[in-house]
Structures are given as structure tokens and as C-alpha cells.
């Protein structure tokens, strides 16, 4: 009888396996920073920029950075901006560095107000008898060490290779319709037929090197050239791409 009771209790005990896990996850988003208020030429300029590098914005999570227009961008213009971005198929999901009123507008539009990239500690509920908590001094986040990403296989059309913490090295060819994106420099030891975007987080010292140039687009820190604006003398040549006096330059390598 005792053995039977043990078996019954074991069968009735609830399972201890959790049905889910909660983990932290880091990702990179495109930040659209408004330097001035919106005017009639804003969306015209945006459409022209998107048309040059459409694959760069395709399915890329986007955050609105309102630091320079906090308090000066009216509610109606912010609503128009959010609607305009969504109507263009841009995956805008968050807003940062705005005022409380702008954050409320963003929430109403389905966006998430974000804390500007810094971690915010959870606040415990204070009791009436507790003394007022002293604000903790802000501590800068340690920067992640740059890492180089190495790709040894050919990059096929439709692929997007991204390194958000350093250089990107490809020891193969890059097909038309493929895209390379890096925070640092890009090195291609093969033929480049697709697109290469270096210094995407604002590194103006980043460069692009390739063994055979036949690119659709080259960009460094937001400045770019398309195949139509590249000299035919550079076709199939070994080149380096860099910025000089806020201009994108392409030079042959010896």
C-alpha cells in the first residue's frame, strides 16, 4: 500500500519545466535623427535617399532620434512624420531623446519611447517611512571591444552581411544584389558587384578596399556613390574608397 501511494503522488505532482525563457538581446537599429523641423522638402529628400539604397532600409528596425528637435517639433508634425515613415514601409518602432509630450504622441502611434541606449535600473516601490532615495551617479557603459568579422564564402544576391562592432573582411566575391555593412572598414578580396557601406555609425575614417570594382553602391558614413556616378576607368580595378573633405573618393591601388 505504501508503494502505491508514492506512485500516485508522483503522478499528481506538477511539472517543473518552465514554458518560456526571458533573456536579454542586443540588436542594431537604424537611427533617423531630425536635425531641423520638417518642411515640404523633407519627404522628397527622404524618398531620394531611400531610392538610392532601398535594400539598406528593407526590414531594418528604425528609431526616431528627436534630440535636436525636442520641444520644437509640434505634435501634428510628429504624427505626420511617423505616418509618412510607416507608409513608406519603414520599420519604425521606437523614439528617443524627445519630450514627455513627444513620447506620449509616439505611444499613441504604437512606438516605444526608448532610454537613449543606456540601461535604466528598475525602481522599487518606496514605503512612506523610507527616506527619499539619493540619485545614483551616472556611470558610462563600457564600450564593447571592436571585433572583425570574416566571411570566407561568396556572398550571394539578396544576402546582407552586417558587422556592427568593427571591420568586415570577405575573401570571396560579392554578387549583384548582395550587401555588406560595417561599423568599421570593409575589405573584399574578390569582385564586388553588390553594395558596400562602411562606417555606418559615423566613422569617417572607415575605408572600403576591393580587388575588382563593379559595385552598385559604395558608401562611407552616409556619403555614397552609385554605379552611374563612378568613373568607367575604375571598373574591374583594385581600389580603395575613403572620405576627403566630406567627399567620397575612389582611387586605384598600386
* Residue 49 is assigned to a structural domain of this protein: yes
Q: Which domain range does residue 164 map to?
A: 149-252
Could you tell me if 164 and 231 lie in one domain? yes
Among residues 133, 164, 153, the alpha carbon closest in space to that of 60 is found at 164
CB 184 within 8 A of CB 168: yes
Q: Which three cell numbers stand for residue 81?
A: 512624420
pLDDT in tens, the chain (254 residues): 444 554 445 444 455 666 777 765 555 567 788 777 677 788 888 888 777 666 667 667 788 888 888 777 888 888 888 888 888 888 888 888 888 888 888 888 888 887 754 333 333 333 444 455 555 555 555 666 779 999 999 999 989 999 988 999 999 999 999 999 999 999 999 999 999 999 988 899 999 999 999 999 999 988 889 888 899 999 999 999 999 998 999 999 98
Could you tell me if 234 and 188 lie in one domain? yes
pTM, rounded to two decimals: 0.53
Q: How many helices (H) and strands (E) does the chain have?
A: 5, 15
Strand pairing report for 61-65 and 91-96: parallel
pLDDT for residue 34: 79
Query: How far is Cα 217 from Cα 97, in angstroms, rounded to an integer?
Result: 32
pLDDT for residue 39: 72
Q: Which three cell numbers stand for residue 216?
A: 552598385
* Residue 51 is assigned to a structural domain of this protein: yes
Could you tell me if 157 and 104 lie in one domain? no
Specify burial of residue 143 (Cβ count, 10 A radius: 0-12, 13-18, 19+).
Answer: exposed
Query: How far is Cα 240 from Cα 250, in angstroms, rounded to an integer?
Result: 6
pLDDT for residue 118: 39
Number of domains the chain is built from: 2
Q: Which residues of 27-66 are buried (b: 16+ CB within 10 A; e: fewer)?
A: eebeebebeeebeeebbeebeeeeeebebbbeebebbbbb
Query: How far is Cα 88 from Cα 45, in angstroms, rounded to an integer?
Result: 13
Q: What CATH number is given to the structural domain containing 216?
A: 2.160.20.70
pLDDT for residue 78: 84
Q: What CATH number is given to the structural domain containing 86?
A: 3.30.70.260
* Residue 193 is assigned to a structural domain of this protein: yes
Amino acid at each position: 500500500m505504501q508503494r502505491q501511494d508514492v506512485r500516485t503522488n508522483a503522478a499528481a505532482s506538477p511539472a517543473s519545466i518552465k514554458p518560456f525563457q526571458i533573456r536579454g538581446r542586443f540588436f542594431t537599429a537604424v537611427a533617423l535623427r531630425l536635425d531641423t523641423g520638417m518642411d515640404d522638402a523633407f519627404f522628397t529628400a527622404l524618398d531620394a535617399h531611400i531610392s538610392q539604397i532601398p535594400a539598406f532600409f528593407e526590414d531594418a528596425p528604425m528609431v526616431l532620434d528627436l534630440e535636436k528637435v525636442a520641444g520644437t517639433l509640434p505634435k501634428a508634425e510628429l504624427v505626420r512624420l511617423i505616418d509618412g515613415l510607416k507608409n513608406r514601409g519603414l520599420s519604425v518602432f521606437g523614439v528617443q531623446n524627445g519630450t514627455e509630450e513627444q513620447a506620449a504622441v509616439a505611444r499613441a502611434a504604437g512606438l516605444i519611447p526608448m532610454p537613449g541606449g543606456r540601461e535604466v535600473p528598475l525602481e522599487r516601490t518606496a514605503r512612506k517611512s523610507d527616506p527619499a532615495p539619493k540619485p545614483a551617479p551616472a556611470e558610462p557603459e563600457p564600450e564593447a571591444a571592436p571585433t572583425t568579422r570574416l566571411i570566407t564564402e561568396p556572398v550571394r544576391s539578396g544576402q546582407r552581411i552586417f558587422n556592427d562592432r568593427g571591420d568586415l573582411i570577405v575573401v570571396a566575391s560579392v554578387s549583384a544584389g548582395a550587401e555588406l555593412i560595417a561599423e568599421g572598414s570593409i575589405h573584399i578580396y574578390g569582385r564586388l558587384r553588390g553594395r558596400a557601406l562602411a562606417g555606418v555609425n559615423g566613422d569617417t575614417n572607415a575605408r572600403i578596399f576591393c580587388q575588382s570594382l563593379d559595385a552598385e553602391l559604395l558608401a562611407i558614413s552616409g556619403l555614397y556613390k552609385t554605379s552611374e556616378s563612378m568613373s568607367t576607368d575604375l571598373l574591374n580595378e583594385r581600389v580603395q574608397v575613403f572620405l576627403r573633405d566630406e567627399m567620397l573618393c575612389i582611387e586605384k591601388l598600386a
